[in-house]
Amino acid sequence: MPDEPGNTLRFRILRYTPNLVRDEWVNVGVLLEEVDGTRRAMRLIEDASEIARVRRLHPGADEGLLRALPSEFDARLRAPEPEVRTYLEKLDQTLSNVLQLSPQRGLLADDFDTELERLFHDHVASPPSARGGIVENTRAWIRARLNDVFRRHRILAKFQRSVRVEEFTQPGDPLHLDYAYRYNGTRGYIHTVALGRDPSQAKVLAYTAECIRARAANSEFTAITEVEPARENPRHQFIARLLEEQRISLVPLNRIEKFADDLRPRLQ
């Protein structure tokens, strides 16, 4: 008999209700906790495409609030445990708040991070019937492909995921780099960048790499893109030049298998 999943977890969905009178909401995040209280994490919408989807469903949605959610919850969940519990209880009990948590549900899983991504995909990300081919241009889709490749190469557990960068940039910086690792005194960072979406993603990564290298010179960076930069596409070439100037390697998904294979021996 195969081993059963060993971790007992519980999750709740964060709902955004822009019009309290109509009692209509859209799912914007997932809160996942280990039952024994050792770990708690939140996965929230953050990409421009994800926020645009909320705006399409609710044209009056507060875009500023939606963009602030990752930094807001990051700060809330790092507070002392009594404060965290008080805040979550408030979201549970307050029916007049635009942010509300769904009822709690339990589950069993082997890997906390993988389960968080699965729950986000199932409960928050755009449903398959609404995506068409557009989903392949999103950072969430690229991350899902990466997780599959890293899992098959048996290196997914070697990474730290969703890594805060505020210690290198500025307090309150909401950015989380997708993956981080260390080997022989070198810090490595991997982050997804969608060439077909917002060029500011690459600008933010370039700025972050510069800040991290100022504090930890022996650092390396890799940007994973959905496709090879097209020579005839000015936006693609702008992003490629920007990353090259900051010594950030660019690896499209069609070369990710070799990238994972080359990285694996360094992570042993």
**CATH number of the domain where residue 219 is located:** 3.40.1350.10
Reported confidence tier of residue 132, pLDDT bands at 50, 70, 90: very low
50 and 163 housed in the same domain: no
Reported confidence tier of residue 131, pLDDT bands at 50, 70, 90: very low
Kindly tell me the sign of the dihedral angle through the C-alpha atoms of 134, 44, 120, 228. positive
147 and 197 housed in the same domain: yes
Of the three residues 67, 102, 125, the one that is the final residue of a domain is 125
249 and 158 housed in the same domain: yes
Distance, CA of 241 to CA of 30 (rounded, Å): 36
pLDDT at position 1 over 60: no
143 and 257 housed in the same domain: yes
Residue 46 lies in a domain: yes
For 119, the domain range is 7-125
pLDDT in tens, 74-83: 888 888 888 9
Q: What's the pLDDT score for residue 134?
A: 40
Of the three residues 68, 98, 125, the one that is the final residue of a domain is 125
Which of 40-54, 168-182, 219-233 has the least mean pLDDT? 40-54
Cβ(256)–Cβ(149) under 8 Å?
A: yes
pLDDT in tens, 168-192: 999 888 888 999 999 988 999 999 9
Q: How far is CA 26 from the centre of its chain?
A: 19
Residue corresponding to tokens 């389960």: 115
Name residues whose C-beta falls within 8 Å of residue 245's C-beta, 6 or more positions apart in sequence. 206
Task: Output b/e per residue, 120-139; b: 16+ Cβ within 10 A.
Answer: bbebbbbeeeeeeeeeebbb
Name residues whose C-beta falls within 8 Å of residue 162's C-beta, 6 or more positions apart in sequence. 41, 43, 113, 176, 177, 178
**Token pair belonging to 43:** 């996965």
Reported confidence tier of residue 207, pLDDT bands at 50, 70, 90: very high
Reported confidence tier of residue 255, pLDDT bands at 50, 70, 90: very high
3-state secondary structure of 77: helix
Q: What's the pLDDT score for residue 116?
A: 86
177 and 263 housed in the same domain: yes
Across-strand partners of 41?
Answer: 32
92 and 150 housed in the same domain: no
Residue 1 lies in a domain: no
pLDDT in tens, 143-176: 888 988 998 898 988 898 888 898 999 988 888 8
**Token pair belonging to 30:** 């997932």
3-state secondary structure of 13: strand
Q: Which whole number is the average pLDDT over 97-102?
A: 86
Q: What is the overall mean pLDDT for the chain?
A: 86
Residue 2 lies in a domain: no
Residue 241 lies in a domain: yes
Cβ(44)–Cβ(28) under 8 Å?
A: yes
Looking at per-residue confidence, does 125 or 96 come out higher? 125
Distance, CA of 30 to CA of 162 (rounded, Å): 14
The secondary element (H helix, E strand) that includes residue 187 is: strand 186-192
Distance, CA of 189 to CA of 165 (rounded, Å): 11
Across-strand partners of 179?
Answer: 161, 190
The number of domains in the chain is 2
Which of 5-19, 127-141, 211-225 has the least mean pLDDT? 127-141
Model confidence, pTM = 0.67
Of the three residues 125, 150, 173, the one that is the final residue of a domain is 125
Q: What's the pLDDT score for residue 129?
A: 47
pLDDT at position 225 over 60: yes
